[in-house]
Amino acid sequence: MKEIIQGRLCYYQFKHFSKLSFITHGIFTRKGGVSKAPYDSLNIGYNVGDDHLAVQENHRRIEKIMGAKCKSAIQTHSKKVHIVNSDWDNKINGDSLVANQANILLMVKTADCQPILLADHDNKIIAAIHSGWRGSVLNIIESTIIKMCELGSKPENIIAGIGPSLGPCCAEFINYKQELPKNMWKFSVKPDYFDFWAISKNQLIKTGIKEKNIEISKICTRCRTDLFYSYRKNKISGRFASVIGLKSL
């Protein structure tokens, strides 16, 4: 990933996404917003206890840089996938958003869960996924690829990026035998610790996405609370934004 600083805001871009001229995208850090501690400072989560006016201003700052209005959902750790258009209602429940219209900025909000961005370079279709461990168990990745294919995508044309999230160094699941299916146990890196980056990569490849088209940030949010929010570490925590949009031709 490469770091970009605009004013007080700092965000990251996937290197292979940066080569796609038809999209705009960014994984925003917690820096450059107006929220006060413990949400300091670019918190974009409305339901975590932060001042709503501060969150609103944080959204505005991201939208100003990215050049479009944010479209998000009320995330519930489901495998619900929605196709988003200009009339989208941000109060709809869901954890994956797909679009094939320009000037729509898909946003997912995370603080340890995986933000996964997808882009079909042939058919100009994009997606943003919020995938915690429950989303991995439900395979929301597969559900999202299916929805993209309904709009005309082919998996071999899709580029994928897995953003900062809980790394194998910190993904402890002491009750994994009750929480995770047996087919995930092989992704254990040491007793009770799991590599969910590898799980997501495996799920992406199984849908037909080429391994060379998958980029993983390999930034653990629990280890890097100077840059990102982590619910695992701080409990009372903000949410950082991962966004992707189609540019007007």
pLDDT digit string, tens, across residues 53-104:
999 999 999 999 999 999 999 999 999 999 999 899 899 999 999 999 998 9
Q: How far apart are CA 219 and CA 80, in angstroms?
A: 26
Q: How far apart are CA 26 and CA 117, in angstroms?
A: 10
Read off the pLDDT band of 35 (50, 70, 90): very high
pLDDT of amino acid 31: 97
Say if strands 125-131 and 2-6 run parallel, antiparallel, or are unpaired. Answer: unpaired
Query: Terminal CA-to-CA distance of the chain, rounded, Å?
Result: 26
Residue 32 backbone zone (phi > 0: left; psi -120 to 50: alpha; other: beta): left
Environment class of 19 (CB within 10 Å of its CB; exposed 0-12, middle 13-18, buried 19+):
exposed
What's the chain's average pLDDT? 96
Q: Are 159 and 213 in contact (CB under 8 A)?
A: yes
Handedness of CA 158, 137, 116, 125 (dihedral sign): positive
Q: How far apart are CA 160 and CA 119, in angstroms?
A: 7
pLDDT of amino acid 249: 63
Mean pLDDT of 232-239: 96
Which domains does the chain possess?
2-246 (3.60.140.10)
Q: Are 238 and 50 in contact (CB under 8 A)?
A: yes
Show the tokens assigned to 182.
């047996």
Read off the pLDDT band of 131 (50, 70, 90): very high
Nearest to 156 by CA among 171, 170, 141, 145: 145
Does the pLDDT at position 248 exceed 90? no
Mean pLDDT of 140-148: 98
Q: Are 136 and 166 in contact (CB under 8 A)?
A: no
Mean pLDDT of 19-34: 95
Does the pLDDT at position 224 exceed 80? yes
Query: What are the tens digits of pLDDT across the range 190-223?
Result: 999 999 999 999 999 999 999 999 999 999 999 9
pLDDT of amino acid 165: 98
Nearest to 113 by CA among 101, 131, 140: 131
Show the tokens assigned to 228.
């990102």
Angle between helix 140-150 and helix 196-206 axes, rounded to 10 deg: 30
User: Angle at CA 115, nearest 5°, toward 19 and 182?
Assistant: 120
Which of 86-90, 145-149, 165-169, 172-176 shows the lowest per-residue confidence on average (mean pLDDT)? 86-90
